[in-house]
Amino acid sequence: MPHRILILGRHGQLATELQRLAPPAGFEIVALGRDQLDLREIDQISLVLRESAPSVVINAAAFTAVDAAESEPDAAFALNGDAPREIANACARLGAPLIHLSTDYVFDGAKNAAYEEADATAPLNVYGVSKLAGEHAVLESDAHAAIIRTSWIFAAHGANFVRTMLRLAETRREVNVVADQIGRPTWACDLAECCLGLALRALDRDPVTRGLLHFAGADDASWADLAEAVFAEAGRDVSVHRIATHAYPTPARRPLNSRLNSDKIIGMGFTPKPWREALAQCLLSER
């Protein structure tokens, strides 16, 4: 019987890319969506995981609507805090390692350099607080678990900034885009390969696959930089007006610095691409 890599959150950007990867010999990749496991039903998590008999679990499910979390904190904490706690506890009982995804939004953005794993957290919004609660729950469990913080994920599918810009280009010749928030755009395909590689190493209880890790694109960008690159790469004649964060108010505060230092995970052999290179490959796959 093959080893089973179980993915939670079947329809998300990361989960979609994970399902596209060819599993190594002797492994199968199985993904569960809300119709098979509604993570809001906490009492069902342990039962479904036990029936799924995973060798390792990748939790790519989350409440990711950052602004909506401000008015729906209970829903955000249910998916981002309570569910990871139960998933981690179930993994501990099953002896299955866990790869859990988190976010740059656990930081407040006040640092002048890229954030490292050991830096103090101070989320600015409900989403970030709920994801931090999930981190704590996983770390406090007895599961062999790695938490991967990532940022600014984009893919040729799903809901993300790149696809939003392409959609706007269908009807607009100019857009206003925030230029003072800086991050490291991350291609979901790169992230998926990293998660799968970590999952396989975790099966051997490699100690480096336990604790906090950062994986983000190799270089910096503002949202405006990314928008300009999308339009240029896609051949769309759209002008980008660079604006400050205060000129585009949103329900949730965003950190001005979302850069994550990935040196630790790069030292383990997982290297993210520069975001412009990844963007070109992503848009090529969309055509």
What residues act catalytically? 127
DSSP three-state, residue 269: coil
The secondary structure of 89-125 as a DSSP string is HHHHHHT--EEEEEEGGGS-S--SSPBPTTSPP--SS
Distance of CA 66 to the CA centre of its chain: 13
What phi, psi does 39 have (nearest 5°)? -65, -10
DSSP for 179-229, written as a single string: -S-EE--EEHHHHHHHHHHHHHHHTTT-GGGSEEEE---SS-EEHHHHHHH
Hey, is 14 helix, strand or coil?
helix
